[in-house]
């Protein structure tokens, strides 16, 4: 049963600390998305990659967030330095195709920045 996996599932950290979230897309999928979800804003697309190349990261605060895909089986989202307003659930999703394909979401990383 192929799934998107994310680690850690929960993270509590102090303001100013670096946070790294990891995602393993479904094997064979060529597109990876990072989303953030909060009660106030709902779901927001932060960035996405196709064939490991970043296609759009306009939803991401550039000064503190960075997203990479070191290889086809790993995507990372890093926040440095973290702030309380970054507290949210961060979802990774993967898909195969060119844009209209079904996205499969991971279970999310619940981040709390104190």
Which residues form the interface with another protein (CB under 8 A)?
4, 31, 33, 42-45, 48, 55-56, 58, 91, 93, 98-100, 102-108
Return the number of the residue (28 or 99) whose C-beta is nearest another protein.
99
Spatial contact of 36 and 90, defined as CB atoms under 8 Å apart: yes
Query: How many CB atoms sit inside 10 A of residue 52's CB?
Result: 15
d(CA 67, CA 77): 4
- Least distance from C-beta 16 to another protein, angstroms? 28
Q: Which is nearer to another protein, 60 or 79 (CB)?
A: 60
**Facing residues of 4 across strands?**
none
Closest approach, Cβ 15 to another protein, in A, equals: 25
């Amino acid at each position: 049963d192929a799934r998107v996996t994310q680690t850690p599932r929960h993270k509590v950290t102090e303001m100013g600390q670096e946070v790294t979230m990891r995602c393993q897309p479904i094997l064979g999928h060529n597109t990876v998305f990072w989303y953030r979800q909060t009660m106030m804003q709902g779901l927001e697309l932060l960035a996405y990659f196709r064939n490991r190349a970043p296609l759009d990261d306009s939803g991401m605060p550039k000064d503190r967030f960075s997203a990479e895909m070191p290889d086809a089986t790993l995507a990372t989202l890093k926040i440095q330095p973290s702030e309380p307003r970054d507290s949210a659930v961060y979802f990774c999703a993967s898909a195969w195709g060119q844009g209209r394909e079904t996205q499969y979401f991971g279970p999310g990383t619940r981040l709390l920045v104190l």
